[in-house]
A and B are shown apart, each in its own frame.
Chain A
Amino acid sequence: MQTEALLHAPEAATQPTLVVDRLKAYYTTKAFGIDRDIRAVDDISLTVAKGEIYGVAGESSSGKTSLIKTIVGAIRPPLHVVDGTVRFNFSGQSYDIYDMKPDKLQAIRWRHLSYIMQGSMNVLNPVRRIKHSFYDFAFAHMGLDRATFWDKVRDHLRRLDLDPGVLDSYPHQLSGGMRQRTTIALATVCTPEFIVADEPTTALDVIVQRDVLAMLRDIQRDLGSSFLFVTHDMSVHATVSDRVGIVYAGRLVEEADTPTLFRGARHPYTQHLVASLPKIGDTTRRASLPGRPPSLADPPSGCRFHPRCPLAMDICSREVPTMTNLTPRHRVACFAVTGATP
């Protein structure tokens, strides 16, 4: 299978750890006997190299969580894959997430892949102390004796600025940020090869956030793990992501190395996103994007950004711009940038 994405994989020599190819995943709901598709993931291709930190940003409700869930195979109806493939390469073995038995997928999840969900406090059992969650979740997979296991868990919690005393607490006894760090600890204590995280640091103060990001980076560096993560916080991307992909209305519209994306964004939506960031010391009024987010049940024709785009031309409402390489590592889908040839 030769894909557009594969051709410019960051490490052409080695296989990317993740190859997402023309992925489409819709929520199909029935209303009054009529099927309605919410096209949350609509023709997305991307790759993540071994040891790479790939960041995903985009508008609220643009489909980032849906994309992430589809990539890790954590979807259930009404969300389903309509087209495309998701392929992981772990230790020379290739795994097609949507072409294998559920129990095999489970095994891979445990061994190689770790997924931190958005608002993921609910992985913690509310009626049991935190230590039980760690035991149930991680003990069997780490092959350590009990004493070593708990030492390791406590060390890991400290790296996340958590007092190991949280092990004796119930989830509701922890602050929001403490719970968020606990779920990160759960997901990373086994030091997985591929970490997928959806808004992992949104509930943290900036000092703790810095430490948590440093921990994730350490894991990534020490083990050469890959890291795919979603956050709204562009300054987090600026600090940790090697590459950033921007999603708008279910589609990837721009992707580049982080410095390029911040200094030389070409898609009008990305430019808006970068320009809208407030800063301390700056009180000039920031406008938000005009118009409203598009409905994914009935997205605008052509380029989905056209109703809100300052540069929109005739062609933009008729044809869909495809992701086109400006440089080997900078792709953008916009007629104003690539010329009006669809």
Chain B
Amino acid sequence: MSLILDIDHVSKTFLQGGLLSRRSVEAVKDISLQIEAERPEILSVVGESGSGKSTLAAMVLGQQLPTRGRVMFDGIDVASIRSSAARRAFMAKVQPVLQNPFEAFNPLKRVDRYLFATAANFMMAKGKPSRQEIEERVDRALVEVGLTLAEVRGRFPHELSGGQLQRTAIARALIPDPRLLVADEPVSMVDASLRMSIVNLFGALRDRLGLSIIYITHDLATAYYISDRIIIMKKGEVVERGNARAVLDNPQHPYSIDLKNAVLTPDFA
């Protein structure tokens, strides 16, 4: 059994506050988690706001280094990646989709430029791509999320709606043909219909491309609908984990039970 991702007893502590009020925040406490290479899956991470979900994601992406423990991707310790070539190879395989699409794009840069740069950067490994090859790759990624290059061309981030921008961010992540997507609340800004089309897209990417997806969300209903496994976090710890449907149908930990009970139901019937 080979592991594509091996999160091994990872913790992260931050320092916060002023000189007089300095305190340390244990954002992630001793979390272990594995994803098998041969069994692509959608792993949902749910839980309290401020419980360390984004911090965990940042460590998987190599953007934050663990205070203790290590994150192994495809047999390599993420903390050991130094050279820019190794970094680029790693980033081609592990791609982020961020929480706030308004923060994901530079407001002064046209969105298509950003996509072209991403494509050029990752296609470079196979020799310098032509303009047309780049545009085709970008368009293909955009079509996968229900947009086209024609719609996005020349636009600045503020000229797109939140939903359009988020779909563009997912398209950008698909450009290098990654093995793992780390999607931090990728659907919180989009309507229910689009939300379903994006999680269905995640399911299709898993089934078609063998992509694994870490899906951080506050939406338990879509986690139930699409994911294979789930972990529930509170105050930096995993309080419950297992098969997504089993856990959500019958949560055991008091926090998980509270969480499920707090889900608002749109039923009036």
A262 to B265, CA, bound (A): 11
* B14, B46, B53, B99: residue with the most chain A Cβ atoms closer than 10 Å: B99
Return the contact of B264 from the options A235, A281, A285, A288 (Cβ within 8 A): A235
Q: Which chain A residues lie closer than 8 Å to B17 at the CB level?
A: 165, 168-169
Whether the pair A178, B191 counts as a contact (CB closer than 8 A) is no
Count of inter-chain pairs, beta carbons less than 8 A: 177
How many chain-B residues does the 8 Å CB contact rule pick out? 59
- How far, in Å, is B183 (CB) from chain A's closest CB? 13
B residues 162-192 near A (Cβ < 8 Å) are 162-164, 184-185, 188-192
- How far, in Å, is B191 (CB) from chain A's closest CB? 4
Q: Assess A60 versus B162: contact at CB under 8 Å? Given A121-B100, A235-B266.
A: yes
Q: Within 8 Å of chain B (Cβ to Cβ): is A129?
A: yes
A60 to B159, CA, bound (A): 13
Return the contact of A206 from the options B14, B18, B163, B263 (Cβ within 8 A): B263
Whether the pair A209, B218 counts as a contact (CB closer than 8 A) is yes
A165 to B103, CA, bound (A): 25
Q: Within 8 Å of chain A (Cβ to Cβ): is B260?
A: yes
Whether the pair B50, A175 counts as a contact (CB closer than 8 A) is yes
Whether the pair B162, A278 counts as a contact (CB closer than 8 A) is no
Return the contact of B188 from the options A59, A203, A280 (Cβ within 8 A): A203
- How far, in Å, is B220 (CB) from chain A's closest CB? 6
Whether the pair B49, A259 counts as a contact (CB closer than 8 A) is no
Whether the pair B224, A283 counts as a contact (CB closer than 8 A) is yes
A residues 246-280 near B (Cβ < 8 Å) are 258-259, 262-263, 272-274, 276-280
Return the contact of A280 from the options B163, B164, B189, B263 (Cβ within 8 A): B263
Whether the pair B225, A273 counts as a contact (CB closer than 8 A) is no
Whether the pair B262, A276 counts as a contact (CB closer than 8 A) is no
Q: Within 8 Å of chain A (Cβ to Cβ): is B21?
A: yes
Q: Assess A232 versus B192: contact at CB under 8 Å? Given A176-B99, A177-B49.
A: yes
Whether the pair A202, B18 counts as a contact (CB closer than 8 A) is no
Whether the pair B192, A276 counts as a contact (CB closer than 8 A) is yes
Whether the pair A205, B259 counts as a contact (CB closer than 8 A) is yes
Nearest CB to that of A283 among chain B residues? B225
9 closest A-B pairs by beta carbon, nearest first, are: A60-B163, A177-B49, A61-B161, A235-B264, A288-B197, A119-B102, A278-B221, A206-B262, A235-B266
Chain B residues within 8 Å of A, Cβ to Cβ: 14, 16-18, 21, 23, 46-50, 53-54, 99-103, 146, 151, 159-164, 184-185, 188-197, 200, 218, 220-222, 224-225, 245, 248-249, 258-260, 262-269
